[in-house]
């Protein structure tokens, strides 16, 4: 996946209006590549020799972070890191697509030090393009769920979300039990699905489903189109009409958004279809052109720290560390998942996005 191609595919036009937020502004749970498993791999074994402690470095100045959010969590992480280190975080917040588009626009003079994306295949593509810096000695990297992070230490999935069927509890008494249910007549014109060109997690779901189902998997999405399923912007844009009651269901809804809305008293809930879904890790990485590498490494260390992992759990996301429990939501072991092939998802991301958006336009 070349950055230029991927960045243009994922919402280049949407990026142009973005602003800089810190500068002023029966399935398995493993989701391995192509081999099946029954649970996420245990954290990679390590020893003190393999994971040396960093020599204390006096930090100062700033670090530029491009983050796919969620916004509330990103702001808390920014504040926590600044309070702990004294380093100023200049943060641009946007979707994965907007971040990739910004990087493409800035490729002749890169500004970013740290990337935080909402799509593992997108980060894998950046690794393949040679854009990321290795940091295998990152603090607590050995505690991460190994399937979600890079064995070479180039990216670290500090959190994850899962995709499910989010529904309005006032309108829906018997929620759908499977993805295929949404093609039934009783759901005609009542369902939204996020646009994979604007949502990295939606693309993870669609490409993950196809990687597990093969070409026959397209029949599900064709049946959605025939049943009036609407492609409705990014994740929040797809969810809002369900909260208000204009629609009944979001297919491939991001679960932490549903849990947050439910906790705020909105009439929504979520189910994970019995045949499986996709857990979408949210990886962070240092770019190889970083001008503030010490600060960037410290930011990665903070993301994996006890403090930041508790912030992750408090935002209804799945913590990336296996020793930190999820709060007030389904845990990894509770969510049935497809046996997805992450490499296939990365290799086919552009073609899947194009085919899906053309189908729904």
The closest of 145, 209, 148 to 345, measured between CA atoms, is 209
- Flag whether 64 is in a domain: yes
What total number of domains does the chain contain?
A: 2
Which tens digits make up the pLDDT trace of 212-225?
999 899 999 999 99
Q: What is the mean predicted confidence (pLDDT) over 316-339?
A: 97
Say yes or no: 16 and 129 in one domain: yes
My answer on whether 172 and 229 are in the same domain is yes
Are 231 and 144 in the same domain?
no
Could you tell me if 207 and 272 lie in one domain? Answer: yes
How far is it, in rounded angstroms, from Cα 85 to Cα 65?
15
Instruction: Examine residue 97 and state whether it is found in any structural domain, yes or no.
Output: yes
Q: Are 115 and 185 part of one and the same domain?
A: no
| Residue at 172 is within a domain | yes
Is residue 238 situated within a structural domain? yes
pLDDT tens figures, 96-108: 889 999 999 999 9
Is residue 343 in a domain?
no
The structure tokens 């994970």 sit at: 272
Residues 268 and 289 in one domain: no
Task: Give domain status of residue 342, yes or no.
Answer: no
Q: Which H, E and C letters describe the chain, residue by residue? A: CCHHHHHHHCCHHHHCCCCECCCCCCCECCCCCCCCCCCCCCCCCCCCCCCCCCCCCCCCCEEEEEECCCHHHHHHHHHHHHHHHCCEEEEEECCHHHHHHHHHHCCCCCCCCEEECCCHHHHHHHHHCCCEECCCCCCCHHHECHHHCCCCCCCEEEEEEEEEEEEECCCCCCCCCCHHHHHCHHHCCCEEECCCCCCHHHHHHHHHHHHHHCHHHHHHHHHHHHCCCEECCCHHHHHHHHHHCCCCEEEEEEHHHHHHHHHCCCCEEEECCCCCECEEEEEEEEECCCCCHHHHHHHHHHHCCHHHHHHHHHCCCEECECCCCCCCCCCHHHCCECCCCHHHHHHCHHHHHHHHHHHHC
Instruction: Choose among 146, 209, 162: nearest CA to 333.
Output: 162
Cα 94 to the chain's mean position, in Å?
12
CATH code, 255? 3.40.190.10
Same domain for 156 and 13 = yes
Residues 178 and 110 in one domain: no
Kindly state whether residues 168 and 233 are assigned to the same domain.
Answer: yes
252 and 191 share one domain: yes
* Whether 147 and 114 share a structural domain: yes
pLDDT at position 3 over 60 = no
| Confidence grade of residue 27 (pLDDT, cut at 50, 70, 90) | very low
Check: pTM over 0.85? Answer yes or no. Answer: no
| Structural domain harbouring 68 | 3-30+59-160+280-329
**One domain for residues 138 and 219:** no
Residue 256 known to bind ligand: yes
| Model confidence band, residue 2 (pLDDT cutoffs 50, 70, 90) | low
- Asked if residue 336 is part of any domain, the answer here is no
């Amino acid at each position: 996946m070349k950055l230029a191609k991927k960045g243009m595919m994922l919402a280049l036009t949407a990026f142009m209006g973005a602003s800089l937020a810190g500068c002023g502004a029966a399935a398995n749970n493993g989701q391995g590549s192509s081999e099946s498993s029954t649970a996420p791999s245990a954290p990679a074994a390590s020893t003190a020799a393999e994971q040396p402690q960093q020599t204390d470095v006096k930090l100062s100045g700033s670090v530029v972070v491009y983050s796919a959010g969620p916004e509330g969590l990103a702001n808390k992480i920014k504040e926590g890191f600044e309070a702990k280190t004294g380093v100023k975080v200049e943060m641009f917040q946007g979707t994965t697509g907007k971040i990739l588009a910004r990087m493409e626009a800035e490729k002749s003079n890169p500004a970013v030090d740290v990337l935080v994306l909402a799509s593992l295949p997108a980060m894998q593509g950046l690794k393949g393009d040679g854009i990321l810096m290795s940091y295998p000695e990152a603090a607590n990297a050995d505690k991460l769920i190994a399937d979600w992070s890079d064995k070479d230490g180039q990216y670290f999935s500090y959190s994850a979300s899962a995709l499910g069927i989010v529904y309005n509890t006032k309108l829906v008494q018997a929620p759908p039990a499977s993805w295929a249910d949404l093609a039934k007549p009783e759901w005609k014109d009542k369902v939204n699905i996020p646009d994979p060109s604007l949502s990295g997690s939606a693309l993870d779901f669609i490409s993950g489903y196809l990687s597990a189902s093969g070409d026959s998997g397209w029949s599900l999405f064709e049946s959605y189109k025939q049943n009036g399923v609407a492609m409705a912007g990014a994740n929040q844009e797809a969810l809002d009409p369900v909260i208000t009651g204009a629609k009944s269901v979001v297919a491939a809804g991001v679960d932490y958004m549903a849990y947050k809305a439910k906790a705020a008293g909105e009439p929504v809930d979520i189910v994970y279809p019995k045949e499986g879904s996709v857990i979408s890790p949210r990886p962070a990485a240092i770019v190889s052109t970083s001008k503030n590498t010490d600060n960037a490494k410290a930011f990665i260390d903070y993301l994996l720290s006890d403090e930041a992992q508790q912030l992750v759990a408090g935002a209804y996301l799945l913590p990336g560390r296996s020793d930190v429990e999820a709060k007030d939501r389904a845990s990894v072991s509770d969510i049935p998942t497809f046996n997805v092939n992450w490499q296939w998802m990365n290799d086919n991301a552009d073609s899947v996005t194009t085919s899906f958006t053309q189908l729904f336009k």
